[in-house]
Amino acid sequence: MTPSVPDAYRECRALARAHYENFPVASHLLPRRMRDPVAAIYVFARRADDLADEGTHGNDARLAALDAMAADIDATAAGRPPDDALWRALADAIPRYDLQLAPFHNLLSAFRQDVTQRRFDTFDDLRDYARRSADPVGRLLLQLADQATPANITDSDRICTGLQLINFLQDLHQDFIERDRLYIPRADLAAFGVSEERLRSGAGEAQIDALIAHQTERAGAWLYAGRNLPARLPGRFGLEIRLIVRGGWRIVERLRATKAGAPFARPRLDRADRAWIARGLLPGAVLGGVQPPREVAVSESVE
């Protein structure tokens, strides 16, 4: 039985609440009209991510499933959604908010790459991946809010790439040790004199600490470069993005404070951290008073 639009959105919201991510999953701070489509966008990304990473299917089956999702999003936009809550919700959201299809297809492109590629030669290669794996989410949010101006898109891309790079550092153990997928470019490993074998050992070595510190500063540089976006966004949406930027920055600070010799440490935010993030709701600069990234990281990293 084909779900009604309200039932389809209700199911998407339930699925979104069941997971935690670094971008807003229909947060109550968002304007009410944005919560349902944000949940549907999240479910789309979550489903594609699971197809790329979860289960026991081989690569060919994973790629075929992602190709099927690409065909389904096109059919949905054309008014022929499959009989599924996700597609029924997106069949409402896409025309209602004039959502472009390119961000959806870029997400699927990144997930296809996850199936077949486990290493990146240069930061430019990693940036291209983030351009497709993270930036589309911010662009879709801007479209939902009718705020997709060139300046806003530029800063949104910087924030989303920064958050993606931060997430790579948080998930370094899971990605590298458990999945044999490394999001530190080979060029950086070579520059700091760190082999994959040494990194995998987790040994407390100065070169490894310097490598991780460089990744942290570069991630922070991208996030910091987009810090002016929230001030240009209206109302509750602007407040939501303020909190996202501050939350990402707090993780950067926790990564900076990680003790030497712990490349796989995963920062956990406590009550004091959450209180610091919440102060972003008060007037003032989003990242006022923080220690900016090193200038070398900014000049190397931000386009």
Per-residue pLDDT of the chain (303 residues; tens, 9 = 90+): 678 999 999 999 999 888 755 445 447 789 999 999 999 999 999 999 999 987 788 999 999 999 999 999 999 999 999 999 999 999 999 999 999 999 999 999 999 999 999 999 999 999 999 999 999 999 999 999 999 999 999 999 999 999 999 999 999 999 999 999 999 999 999 999 999 999 999 877 899 999 999 999 999 999 999 999 999 999 999 999 999 999 999 999 999 999 888 899 999 899 999 999 999 999 888 999 899 997 544 444 444
Are 186 and 104 part of one and the same domain?
A: no
Q: Which of 100, 116, 132 is the last residue of a domain?
A: 116
Are 163 and 255 part of one and the same domain?
A: yes
pLDDT of residue 21: 52
Q: What is the CATH number of the domain that holds 146?
A: 1.10.600.10
φ/ψ of residue 300, rounded to 5: -80, -25
Are 151 and 261 part of one and the same domain?
A: yes
Are 221 and 172 part of one and the same domain?
A: yes
Are 138 and 81 part of one and the same domain?
A: no
CA distance readout (Å), 37 to 58, 79, 199: 32, 17, 41
Please, what is the angle between helix 150-170 and helix 135-144, to 10°?
Answer: 140
Q: Which of 116, 142, 171 is the last residue of a domain?
A: 116
Are 176 and 200 part of one and the same domain?
A: yes
CA distance 150 to 153: 5
Are 54 and 73 part of one and the same domain?
A: yes
Are 92 and 18 part of one and the same domain?
A: yes
| The total number of structural domains that make up the chain | 2
Q: Which of 60, 82, 116 is the last residue of a domain?
A: 116
pLDDT of residue 294: 79
Are 21 and 150 part of one and the same domain?
A: no
Residue with tokens 């926790």: 254
Query: Under the phi-then-psi rule, with left for phi > 0, alpha for psi from -120 to 50, and beta for the rest, what region is 202?
Result: left
**DSSP letters along the chain, please?**
-PPPHHHHHHHHHHHHHTS--SS-SS-TTS-HHHHHHHHHHHHHHHHHHHHHHSSS--HHHHHHHHHHHHHHHHHHHTT---SSHHHHHHHHHHHHHT--SHHHHHHHHHHHHHHH----SSHHHHHHHHHHHTHHHHHHHHHHTT---HHHHHHHHHHHHHHHHHHHHHTHIIIIIIT----S-HHHHHHTT--HHHHHHT---HHHHHHHHHHHHHHHHHHHHTTTTGGGS-HHHHHHHHHHHHHHHHHHHHHHTSPTT-TT------HHHHHHHHGGGSSS-TTTTS-PPPHHHHHHH--
pLDDT of residue 198: 95
What the block records as the tokens of 268 is 């956990």
What the block records as the tokens of 91 is 């069949």
pLDDT of residue 91: 98
Are 174 and 232 part of one and the same domain?
A: yes
- Domain containing residue 39: 1-116
Spatial CB neighbours of 240, under 8 Å, sequence gap ≥ 6: 24, 27, 29, 30
Are 151 and 268 part of one and the same domain?
A: yes
φ/ψ of residue 107, rounded to 5: -60, -45
Are 31 and 135 part of one and the same domain?
A: no
pLDDT of residue 250: 96
Q: What angle do CA 256, 260, 264 make, to 5 degrees?
A: 75
Q: 110 near 137, Cβ under 8 Å?
A: no
pTM above 0.85, yes or no: yes
